[in-house]
């Protein structure tokens, strides 16, 4: 019987859909790098190249991003007309860590990247109670999947939150391109309304956060840089969303039935129809949340070679391994065994 603590270890590990993986690989592909060999060298399943529904773990995604930086010697991952040399982000962090306020830090960061010709410019603008952090000079011809645009928004929001040691809630995200097919995934990235076809790509948040003091030290920055910014891209940003609340309430014990929807609605102090509407606004529904919770947990458990597929099936609440096989293939396009083989390759 599998250790139930492993379910607890993986329960919050969201997975990354294939489209984000392929978008990250676009620059490497354009430089004629053998993607299959590259992925195999960093223990990321090569099935992601061919299986439409394939997903990888957040940990694998963080490894992928850092490995792309190193392979391409470019922190823009080949998705801009100029390169951002390795070490730029680290040096920028060192330049801002002793600033007194978030506003001071963001303005200094903008000055830092302004030293590099053709680099993406960072512009801070105050408009009444709102602050806009815009990213200029993103060449969408080099970024057809909009991955660099999305990455910059995610990294700078989470980096800013880290600097002041509190999450900065976003009022809005503005994107200078049409809505993509994976639009609903943006709730995991930003947890706020997203507006497309805007004049600039930008984050919008309350002006009051600019005056917060920086709370991090040089020692904490060194620890942060050991895993960042790759880990900033890999984790979801949905703590304040209704989706996250429902996932949390569904619990960690897959061996018993999920709670009833009406009970969940009562726990979040909403009428059932209101909860359905809020989930729909976030691009999901109750069944999708249950499926994604099981899928993400199963993918995490498959990374533990000491667990048999039968063990995992039991932990996931399936009485028969064959039923688990069918469900997992529906979620990812592969059987659990094939997924595990791909991971080993």
Number of CB atoms found within 10 A of residue 160's CB:
21
Which residue do the tokens 């039923």 mark? 323
Q: How confident is the model at residue 113 (pLDDT cuts 50, 70, 90)?
A: very high
Torsion of the alpha carbons at 308, 313, 314 and 320, rounded to the nearest 10: -110
Which residue do the tokens 């002041």 mark? 164
Q: Contact 225/93 with Cβ under 8 angstroms?
A: yes
Angle between helices 336-344 and 321-332 (to 10 degrees): 60
Q: How confident is the model at residue 163 (pLDDT cuts 50, 70, 90)?
A: very high
Query: Given a cut of 70, is residue 1 above it in pLDDT?
Result: no
Distance CA 323, CA 65 (A): 34
For the chain, state the CA radius of gyration.
21
The secondary structure of the chain in percent helix, strand, coil, rounded to multiples of 5, reads: 55, 10, 35
Q: How far is CA 235 from the centre of its chain?
A: 4
Q: How confident is the model at residue 234 (pLDDT cuts 50, 70, 90)?
A: low
Distance CA 62, CA 48 (A): 15
Q: How far is CA 226 from the centre of its chain?
A: 18
Task: List the domain boundaries for the chain.
Answer: 4-72+242-281+284-344, 88-234
243-289 pLDDT, tens per residue? 888 988 887 778 888 899 999 999 999 999 999 998 887 778 999 88
- Beta-carbon contacts of residue 319 (< 8 Å; ≥ 6 apart): none
Q: Which residue has the higher pLDDT, 191 or 343?
A: 191
Q: What is the CATH number of domain 4-72+242-281+284-344?
A: 1.10.10.60
* Confidence (pLDDT) at 203: 98
* Confidence (pLDDT) at 245: 85
Query: Given a cut of 50, is residue 143 above it in pLDDT?
Result: yes
Angle between helices 321-332 and 286-302 (to 10 degrees): 110
11-37 pLDDT, tens per residue? 345 788 888 999 999 999 999 999 999
Phi, psi at 158, each rounded to 5° = -75, -35
Query: Given a cut of 60, is residue 3 above it in pLDDT?
Result: no
């Amino acid at each position: 019987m599998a250790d139930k603590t492993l379910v607890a270890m993986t329960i919050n590990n969201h997975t990354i859909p294939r489209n984000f993986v392929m978008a990250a690989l676009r620059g490497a592909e354009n430089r004629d790098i053998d993607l299959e060999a590259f992925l195999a060298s960093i223990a990321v399943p090569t099935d992601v190249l061919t299986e439409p529904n394939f997903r990888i773990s957040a940990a694998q995604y963080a490894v992928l991003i850092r490995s792309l930086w190193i392979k391409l010697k470019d922190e823009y991952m080949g998705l801009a007309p100029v390169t951002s040399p390795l070490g730029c982000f680290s040096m920028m962090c060192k330049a801002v860590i002793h600033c007194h306020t978030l506003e001071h830090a963001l303005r200094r960061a903008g000055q830092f990247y302004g030293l590099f010709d053709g680099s993406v410019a960072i512009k801070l603008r105050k408009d009444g109670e709102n602050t806009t952090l815009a990213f200029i000079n993103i060449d969408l011809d080099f970024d057809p999947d909009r991955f660099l645009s999305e990455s910059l928004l995610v990294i700078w929001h989470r980096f800013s939150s880290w600097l002041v040691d509190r999450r900065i809630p976003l009022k809005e995200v503005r994107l200078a391109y049409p809505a993509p097919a994976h639009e609903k995934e943006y709730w995991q990235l930003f947890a706020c309304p997203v507006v497309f076809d805007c004049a600039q790509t930008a984050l919008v948040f309350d002006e009051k956060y600019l005056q917060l003091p920086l709370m991090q030290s040089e020692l904490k920055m060194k620890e942060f840089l050991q895993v960042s910014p790759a880990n900033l891209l890999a984790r979801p940003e949905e703590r304040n969303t209704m989706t996250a609340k429902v996932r949390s309430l569904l619990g960690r014990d897959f061996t018993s039935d999920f709670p009833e929807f009406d009970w969940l609605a009562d726990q979040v102090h909403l009428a059932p129809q209101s909860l359905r509407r809020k989930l729909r606004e976030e691009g999901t529904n109750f069944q999708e949340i249950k499926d994604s919770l099981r899928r993400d947990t199963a993918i995490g458990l498959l990374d533990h070679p000491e667990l048999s597929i039968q063990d995992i099936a039991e932990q996931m609440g399936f009485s028969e391994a064959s039923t688990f096989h069918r469900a997992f293939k529906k979620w990812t396009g592969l059987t659990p065994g094939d997924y595990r083989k791909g991971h080993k390759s």
